[in-house]
Amino acid sequence: MHCGWRMLRRLGSLERSIAALLLLVFFSAIGNGMVSVVLQPYLKHLGLGSREVGLLQFTASLATSVALVPSAYMADRFGRRRVAIASLAFSFPGFLIVVFTGSVEALAAGFGLLGLGNALASVSLNPLLADVTPRERLDLVSSVSQVLGLAGSSIGLALSWIPQLVAGSTGSLLHAYRSFMFCGGMISVIGFPLLLLVREPGAAGGRFRLGFSREALLLSALSAITALGAGASVWLINYYFASKFSVEAGELGTRMLAETLLMIPLTSLAPILSRRLGTLRAVIALQLSSIPLLALTALAPSFPLAAAVFTLRSALMNAGNPLMWSLSMKLVGEDERSRYTMLNTLAWQLAGGVGSAIGGWLMSASLDSPLYFTASLYLLQVLLLYRLFGTREGSSHQRTLA
């Protein structure tokens, strides 16, 4: 009887921890949706060019990359929940600097602090969710997490016309953007106290090692290729649309909202595609189908057409993310999750930051060229992904992927 009671208490703690982390994802997504749609038009109204916007993104990515190893060490040494909470000590001041200052130097400092906070959060939150989730429920919980994130983003993006409506009465679009971003940041912060409800399995004070499996190294290298392409155009897409078609946050937010709403059913259908094709082949099919749409975005003559094509591209590309995350968590093993997350985030941030700098330079020379550059890199990544892992899915390695 006593043993059964202990099991029930453990199950209740487990479910509470999962629910708290999923709610944190939801609140963060609302705030991030509000901030992301406004940030690049805000920087454009401050007078920054594409090169400066790309360099600011590179600054944040570089700060994240530098801080990842010590962040992963602290996550293993002091506990992932504590490190996730500590991330606010950097990201919140950095956010305030970005919102309430205007000089390039101050913005660079703010983006750097945001990058440091991102490093702490990235090596703690996702591994913590994996830790509190039973292995057999990883696919389900990862899909629910993405759907909740998409739903939260939809709410944030649905509000994107507010700054323009407010500016119509006040006459200051820049001030309206700042107020809107500040509200979004406050909503993101609301979710972090939920971490106090999470019961972290295992004890802090674990030993940190920098050894990596072959799978971790290969997956991270492939992420770097994808991130290099994403940084060059996808991370700068709002600046691209604003420059090419003279649109503002309202139009950009409507497009992003449509993208988010489309991703919800596609993400829900991804597990069905996985059961039919296999996990890896489902990811490859979704990614491969999105690549031609990048080139079509550059060729589109109007914003509605370009937005529609790019929206479909993004939904297809990102629908496989939960499958890829679940696959990687199973491949690298429980004892390597923090280290792999650190390495993968390092590869993603560093390569993505370099890609943003390259994309900003390419965009200043030829507005559409970053999209073609990204399409080429995405195709290379898909071919390498299939070459390295595709032939193993149907053989003995299938036991590892299942």
pLDDT over threshold 70, residue 2: no
Interacting residues of 73 by C-beta distance below 8 A, sequence separation 6+? 208
At residue 394, the pLDDT reads 47
CA distance linking residue 19 with residue 141, whole number of Å: 10
CA distance linking residue 206 with residue 183, whole number of Å: 38
Average per-residue pLDDT for the chain: 84
pLDDT, one tens digit per residue, over 186-199 is: 999 888 888 888 88
Pairs from 394-399 (Cβ < 8 Å, separation ≥ 24)? 394/278, 398/278
pLDDT, one tens digit per residue, over 110-161 is: 999 999 998 899 888 877 887 888 867 776 787 788 788 888 988 988 888 8
CA-nearest of 374, 349, 392 to 120 is 349
CA-nearest of 82, 98, 100 to 39 is 98
pLDDT, one tens digit per residue, over 70-94 is: 888 888 778 888 899 999 999 999 9
CA distance linking residue 349 with residue 351, whole number of Å: 6
Q: What is the mean pLDDT of residues 327-331?
A: 75
Centroid of chain to Cα 278: 24
Tokens of 136: 């057999």
pLDDT over threshold 70, residue 393: no
CA distance linking residue 323 with residue 27, whole number of Å: 23
Distances, alpha carbon 307 to alpha carbons 242, 303, 352, in Å: 12, 6, 22
At residue 349, the pLDDT reads 78
Domain with residues 9-195+212-401, CATH architecture: Up-down Bundle (1.20)
CA-nearest of 114, 248, 264 to 173 is 248
Q: What is the mean pLDDT of residues 362-375?
A: 94
Q: Which residue has the higher pLDDT, 194 or 260?
A: 194
